[in-house]
Amino acid sequence: MNATFQEIGGWLEEGESFALLSHVRPDGDAIGSQIALGFALEAMGKTVHLINEDGLPDNLAFMAGAERIETPSAGPIEVDVVIALDTATKPRLGDKALAAVGHVERWINIDHHKSNPGYGDLNHIDDGSPATGQILYNLITDLGLPMPPETRDAIYVAVSTDTGSFQYAGTTSATYEMAADLVRRGLEVGKINALIYDNHPMRRVELMRSLLNTLEVGSGGRVAHWQLTMDTVRSLGLKPEDSEGLIDIIRAIQGVTVALFFEELDGGKIRVSMRSKDRRIDACEVCQQFGGGGHALAAGIRMPGPIEEARKKVLEVVDAKLSQIES
C-alpha cells in the first residue's frame, strides 16, 4: 500500500536527520532525486547526508549540489530516517551503503519501478511516473516544501534524463506542466541541457565506435544487441557512466523491437540493459526472470557470466517472447 504524501510529510517534519540513498551505478534520476529532496530538507533546517555506493559519476558533476554526494562511511551513520530513492530493490542500494544505514529504524522508499516490492516502512511507488524526480516534484509542491534552485534544477535533470529528453511514452502532460513550472521558477533550459547532453568526453565516442563493431541484429531484424568487454573498458579507460544512454542508438533502428546491451563488470558479473518498443514484450518481466527488474520498456539485470552465456540465455527468452507476437 502506498503511503500518502501527507504521511511521508509527517515523517519529514518529525525527523531531524536524514540519509538519502540511491542505486548503484547512479543515473541522472538517482543523483537528481537525492539532490532535489536533500536540498528541500536542508532548507527546512534538517541535517542531510546524500550517500551513494558508487559515488558521484563524472557526467553529473556539473549539477549544483553534486559535491554533497558521498560514498558510504565505514562506520554506521546515525540518522532518524533513511530515504531510498529510485531504487527498485534494497540490494541495489549497495552493500556498503546498506551496512552504514542498516540499523536505522525508519525507512521511506520513493520510486517509480513497477518491480519495487515496497521494502520501506513508508512506500510510495508510482510506476505511472516517468522519473522519481517527478514524484518528488509532486511531493514538494503538494506539501508546500521549499524548492531552492538546487532542487529545481535537480528535478529537471532527473526527469529529462529518465524520459530521454521528454521523449519516451511515459512522458505525460503533467511532466511538461512540471517542466514549464520549473522554467517559470528560474530554470535555465538551454544552459542545463548543454551541460547534460553536449558535454561528453571523447572516450564515449570511442566507446560508440567499439560498440558498433560488436553490433548484431537477429530475430528477423527485431532484436539488436551489442557488448562491452573488460578488455575494451581497460583499453579505452572507460568509466561506468560512459555507456549511459548509448543503447538508444540501437533501440532507434527501424524494425527493432528489443535492444540489449551486455557489459562485463569487474568481478565477472554481467550487466544487461534492455529496452523494448512494444508493450507486449515486457522488459521488466524478462529481466525479473534473471533476478533483475525495472520498467515495462526499460529494465536491467546483473547476472553471472561469462558474457557469451548471459547473451545466449537472455536472447533465448527474448526470441521466445517475440515469436509469440506478430511482427
- The burial of 308, by beta-carbon neighbours within 10 Å (0-12 exposed, 13-18 middle, 19 or more buried), is given as exposed
The reply on whether position 251 binds ligand AMP by CB under 6 A is: no
Take residue 152 and report the three cell numbers written for it: 529545481
Q: Which residues inside 294-323 make contact with ligand AMP, applying CB under 6 A?
A: 294-295, 298-302
Cell 534492455 -> residue:
274
Q: In the structure grid, which three cell numbers stand for residue 240, read together? A: 561506468
Asked if 159 interacts with Mn ion (CB under 5 A), we say no
Rounded Cα distance between 86 and 108, Å, is: 11
| Separation between Cα atoms, residue 16 and residue 86, nearest integer Å | 22
- Our finding on whether 241 is near Mn ion (CB under 5 A) is no
Residue 150, contacted partner among Mn ion, ligand AMP, none, CB below 5-8 A by kind: none
CA 311 – CA 249 distance, rounded (Å): 19
- Residue 162 binds Mn ion (CB under 5 A): yes
- Per-residue binding string, ligand AMP, 91-110, x by CB under 6 A, is -x------------------
Q: Angle, to 10 degrees, between the axis of helix 149-162 and the axis of helix 173-184? A: 150
Strand runs labelled E in 174-245: 216-218, 223-228
- Percent helix, strand, coil in the chain (nearest 5)? 45, 20, 40
Q: Is 86 in the site for Mn ion (CB under 5 A)?
A: yes
Examine residue 293 and tell whether it contacts ligand AMP (CB under 6 A).
yes
* Piece of 71-79, 135-143, 169-177, 289-297 that binds ligand AMP (CB under 6 A): 289-297
Q: Which does 300 bind (CB under 5 to 8 A by kind): Mn ion, ligand AMP, none?
A: ligand AMP
Cα 180 to Cα 165: distance, rounded to the nearest angstrom: 14
Choose the contact partner of 83 out of ligand AMP, Mn ion, none; CB within 5 to 8 A by kind. none
Contacts of Mn ion in 9-48 (CB under 5 A)? 27, 29-30
List the x/- string, 107-136, binding to Mn ion by CB under 5 A.
Answer: -------------------------x----
Number of residues that bind Mn ion (CB under 5 A): 6
Selection from Mn ion, ligand AMP, none that 302 binds (CB < 5 to 8 A by kind) is ligand AMP
Q: Does 53 bind Mn ion (CB under 5 A)?
A: no
User: DSSP E strands: which ranges in 215-305?
Assistant: 216-218, 223-228, 258-264, 270-276, 293-294, 298-303
Contacting residues toward Mn ion, per CB under 5 A = 27, 29-30, 86, 132, 162
Contacting residues toward ligand AMP, per CB under 6 A = 23, 88-89, 92, 113, 273, 292-295, 298-302
